[in-house]
Amino acid sequence: MTSHYHVNQNLKNQADFKDQIAKTMMRMKNIVAALSVIGLLVSASSSATAAGPADTPEIRAAVQKAATRAEHEAVAKLYEDAAAQTQAKVKEQQELLEQYENKSYLYGRQVQDLQLHASAQVREYEQVVEANIKEARLHRQMALNADENHAATNPQKLSIMDR
């Protein structure tokens, strides 16, 4: 009878141990999910919060002083670079979204929130990319206009170059 008791006790200890492992694994999944959310929030806070073009001190200063073709082209390049950086963030968020969709079992109950957040980030970043491209085009057009205005106000230079 004693050995039967020890076998039952061993089985109960093994079941308790398995329960503890399952609970620990669930906690680990929750921790990973929480860290993922924190990472997303940190990356989102460092990015543009409005779906407008890039607005850095460097770009603001360049826009304010842009008068010549070269200056407008430099501003356009700044906006194009910002668009490229934001496009990289779009790709990153799309990959995260795909991960959340394909491996949803890893993220537990938070998976829907993570998916919604990632898809919202993709939309917002895509709007920022479009706004930056639009600003770059505008400054490229201004660069062309600056050349035309310069030629119209300086007819002697134009005629010397034509000779």
- Whole-number pLDDT of residue 157: 38
Q: Given this model, what pLDDT does residue 71 score?
A: 93
Please report, as a single letter, which amino acid is at residue 32. V
- What is the C-alpha separation between 52 and 42, in angstroms, rounded? 20
Please tell me the distance from the alpha carbon of residue 75 to that of residue 80, in angstroms, as a whole number. Answer: 9
Tens-place pLDDT, residues 57-109: 999 999 999 999 999 999 999 999 999 999 999 999 999 999 999 999 999 99
Q: DSSP letters of 111-141?
A: HHHHHHHHHHHHHHHHHHHHHHHHHHHHHHH
Kindly state the tokens that stand for 123: 């939309």
Which structural domain range is residue 149 located in? 2-162
Q: Under a CB-based contact definition with an 8 Å cutoff, are residues 51 and 127 in contact?
A: yes
- Average pLDDT, rounded, for the chain: 81
pLDDT digits (tens, 9 = 90+) for 122-138: 999 999 999 999 999 99
Tell me the pLDDT band of 24, cut-offs 50, 70 and 90: confident
Count of domains in the chain? 1
